[in-house]
Amino acid sequence: MIDTDILLRAYRLMCTAKAMAGTYEDNRPICKYVHSTSRGHEAIQLATAFHLLPCDYVSPYYRDESLLLGLGFSPYELMLQLLAKGNDIFTGGREYYSHPNYRGADKPNIIHQSSATGMQAIPTTGIAQGIKYLEKINSPLLNKTDINNTGIATGQLPTANCPLPIVICSLGDASVTEGEVSESFQFAALHQLPIIYLVQDNGWGISVTSEEARTCNANEMVKGF
């Protein structure tokens, strides 16, 4: 049973995402840069965000606006990137909307995003490879999250309160047809890396339907691995 406080937090953020999408649509002449909203994807994105700890790594894609809200970024912070403002916290207004990067003790780490779809797969899989290596040599460099203090902790071994980091690579269904993504899946399965590929399957890649673009979905594809 999910705690009522968590459900209320999620519902408020879903309403926030809906209001933001409506605001962008209503102000097309101002929001003239490319933006995709998280409409219809809110629940999975918020559920993902709520599970993440500051020691974790996440590579969201351009549709993961609700995930960013769930991590604690504010609508104002996100809109600074939408409007290409110099004080955008991610890239100083040099990237499309919802292309974040972040390195701080309070939230999971986000590496820089490319605007080419699926390109986060290989570098993000590389993070998982690095984490596995640090685990293997029991390195003090491996950051963990002290759940009681909700801060970063370093130390030799994971404990119940200091779990090991996890990596999330978020993808759309159409990007999974790309070679880079296949290469990442192969490598992660082969080396059993600590990564979750979150594929948000909305049946579309812009104007191309899933039937026009692929023979199977991501789940059916990875069963072969």
Which residues contact Mg ion (rule: CB under 5 A)? 172-174, 202, 204
Closest distance of CB 81 from ligand TPP, Å = 17
Closest distance of CB 161 from Mg ion, Å = 38
Q: Closer CB to ligand TPP, residue 155 or residue 203? A: 203
139 binds, among ligand TPP, Mg ion, none (CB under 5 to 8 A by kind): none
Closest distance of CB 67 from ligand TPP, Å = 12
- In angstroms, what CA-CA distances link 77 with 9, 99, 155, 183? 19, 12, 33, 34
Separate counts of helices (H) and strands (E) for the chain: 8, 7
Neighbours of 224 (CB within 10 A): 8
129: tokens are 């490879």
Rg (CA), the chain: 18
56 binds, among ligand TPP, Mg ion, none (CB under 5 to 8 A by kind): none
Closest distance of CB 35 from Mg ion, Å = 16
Q: Closer CB to ligand TPP, residue 59 or residue 117? A: 117
133: tokens are 């290596």
Rounded distance, CA 152 to CA 104, Å? 10
Give the torsion sign (CA, 220, 41, 123, 152).
Answer: negative
Residue number, nearest CB to ligand TPP = 172
Closest distance of CB 1 from ligand TPP, Å = 31
Q: Closer CB to ligand TPP, residue 109 or residue 200? A: 200
Q: With beta carbons less than 8 A apart as the criterion, state whether 44 and 200 touch.
A: yes
Q: Closer CB to ligand TPP, residue 70 or residue 165? A: 70
Give me the residues paired with residue 204 across strands: 209
Helix or strand or coil: residue 160?
Answer: coil
Closest distance of CB 159 from ligand TPP, Å = 37
63 binds, among Mg ion, ligand TPP, none (CB under 5 to 8 A by kind): ligand TPP
Q: Closer CB to Mg ion, residue 118 or residue 172? A: 172
Neighbours of 15 (CB within 10 A): 11
Q: Closer CB to ligand TPP, residue 54 or residue 60? A: 60
Backbone angles phi, psi at 200, to 5 degrees: -95, 105
Q: State the residues that interact with ligand TPP by CB under 6 A.
A: 36, 63, 115-117, 172-175, 200, 202, 204-206
